[in-house]
């Protein structure tokens, strides 16, 4: 029996989307859906939910929960990763509250910045442990990574884990449809090209019947920008740098040095920046789960509509050899020629029986490559810190982070990193 292993299966809603999609895919019928999570209650909840879903939609997939990670992985053909190390309490709270003491404010803190750095440092060791198990019990498996920070973790699994890994993010799929919806433009027949790095990919082209749609996009965006809305950062970046970026304004507010500045507090209101958004979101999700749990876990009539998540479409393409195109995070093997070869990049990829084949992009417009490199610098030094165990590279990563370096002195950056290391305790390895 072929096997799909889901690591972090206690994320019930996401497990329902990905594995529910698999249950509805003809080419994946009869597969074992192996569930693993370190939270036994959440694991049991997901097992019950998925068995109910299996019965209600008539799938022949077999749902099985494991308390032993290696056994969950044994013989897997595909592995889906959706873990979060440290959770809301204590780690997310730490990621926000300690920087705040230094006057450094964040919105999401799961990708770059001081929060992203430490999320990497506590997550990558766990994922490299996954890699050791994979080499032992399912060495040929494809590893589909949904966990943030996407670029560093996907890079680490490929470069140091030696596992066939592709990083998957919703931002590429959502970029054009959400932009066009906001601008009241039709999406049918629109062709796009998107490339860059995770959360900072660029809508390089948007055409219909050979006509460039960017002039109309910018015209409508300038009208919309006259009133406050939820995407003001991305529109501003498009006006200044020429292209629309894939990930949300709340994310991009903290990827650049221009928007969250304690000496210019008026920028927060001007660009409608939701400071501390991620902790609020976590609290809402924790509260929502209390009421949602019963609806999902014990609902014998649970239904599912195949989502737009890439995973099931990718596995279907690999099983049937019918190609499917994704925006994937892969190593930069000459794909984007003016970004570092050591970087993880986000480019169009073809998926079929051969696996994931990235496509060549060439040079990005120079200003876009420059913006990407400001983030890549911190990503690569964070990876260096995680692999070498040297504290100095944590400092380097933070000192080169665009937002952090724009707000704090070198002394404060080092002191803040030391405070973060101490607060994380056993959640991260020992650094010297």
170 counts as catalytic: yes
Query: Rounded CA gap, 310 and 265, in Å?
Result: 39
Query: Rounded CA gap, 81 and 5, in Å?
Result: 8
Element housing 347 (H / E)? strand 344-352
Count helices and strands in the chain by DSSP H and E runs? 17, 13
Query: Rounded CA gap, 395 and 381, in Å?
Result: 9
Sign of the torsion angle spanned by Cα atoms 333, 335, 341, 344: negative
With H, G, I as helix, E, B as strand and everything else as coil, classify residue 278.
helix
Closest CA to 335 of 353, 320, 347: 347
Of the residues 135, 170, 256, 393, which is catalytic? Answer: 170
Query: Rounded CA gap, 246 and 136, in Å?
Result: 37
Nearest 5°: the CA angle 90, 91, 92 is: 105
Query: Rounded CA gap, 379 and 397, in Å?
Result: 7
Question: Which residue, chain included where needed, has tokens 């993010």?
Answer: 169
Sign of the torsion angle spanned by Cα atoms 58, 60, 61, 63: positive
Prior bond to 90 cis, omega within 30?
Answer: yes
Element housing 324 (H / E)? strand 324-331
Query: Rounded CA gap, 304 and 127, in Å?
Result: 30
Residue 342, judged by CB atoms within 10 A of its CB (0-12, 13-18, 19+), counts as middle
What residues are annotated to the active site? 170
């Amino acid at each position: 029996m072929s096997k799909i292993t889901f690591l972090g299966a206690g994320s019930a809603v996401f497990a329902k989307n990905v594995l529910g999609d698999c249950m509805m895919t003809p080419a994946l019928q009869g597969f074992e859906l192996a569930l693993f999570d370190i939270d036994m209650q959440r694991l049991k909840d997901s097992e019950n939910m998925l068995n109910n879903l299996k019965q209600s939609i008539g799938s022949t997939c077999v749902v099985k929960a494991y308390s032993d990670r290696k056994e969950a992985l044994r013989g897997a053909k595909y592995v889906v990763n959706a873990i979060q190390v440290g959770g809301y309490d204590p780690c997310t709270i730490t990621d926000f509250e300690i920087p705040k003491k230094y006057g450094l404010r964040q919105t999401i803190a799961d990708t770059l910045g001081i929060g992203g750095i430490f999320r990497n440092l506590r997550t990558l060791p766990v994922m490299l442990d996954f890699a050791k198990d994979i080499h032992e019990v399912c060495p040929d498996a494809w590893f589909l990574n949904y966990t943030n920070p996407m670029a560093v973790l996907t890079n680490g699994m490929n470069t140091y884990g030696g596992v066939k890994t592709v990083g998957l993010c919703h931002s590429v799929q959502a970029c054009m449809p959400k932009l066009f919806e906001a601008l009241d433009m039709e999406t049918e027949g629109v062709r796009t090209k998107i490339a860059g790095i995770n959360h900072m990919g660029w809508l390089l082209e948007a055409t219909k019947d050979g006509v460039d749609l960017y002039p109309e996009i910018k015209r409508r965006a300038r009208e919309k920008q006259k009133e406050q809305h939820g995407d003001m950062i991305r529109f501003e970046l498009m006006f200044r740098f020429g292209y629309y970026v894939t990930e949300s304004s709340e994310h991009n507010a903290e990827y650049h040095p221009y928007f969250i500045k304690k000496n210019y507090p008026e920028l927060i209101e001007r660009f409608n920046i939701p400071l501390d958004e991620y902790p609020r979101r976590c609290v809402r999700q924790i509260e929502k789960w209390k009421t949602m749990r019963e609806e999902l876990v014990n609902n014998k009539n649970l239904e599912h509509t195949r989502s737009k998540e890439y995973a099931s479409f990718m596995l279907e393409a690999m099983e049937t050899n019918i190609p499917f195109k994704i925006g994937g995070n892969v190593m930069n093997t000459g794909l984007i020629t003016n970004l570092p070869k050591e970087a993880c990049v986000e480019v169009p990829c073809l998926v079929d029986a051969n696996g994931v084949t990235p496509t060549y992009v060439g040079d990005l417009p120079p200003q876009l490559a420059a913006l990407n490199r400001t983030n890549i610098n911190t990503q690569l030094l964070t990876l260096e810190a995680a692999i070498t165990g040297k504290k100095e590279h944590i400092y380097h990563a933070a000192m080169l982070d665009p937002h952090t370096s724009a707000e704090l002195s070198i002394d404060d950056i080092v002191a803040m990193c030391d405070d973060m290391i101490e607060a994380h305790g056993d959640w991260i390895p020992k650094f010297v």
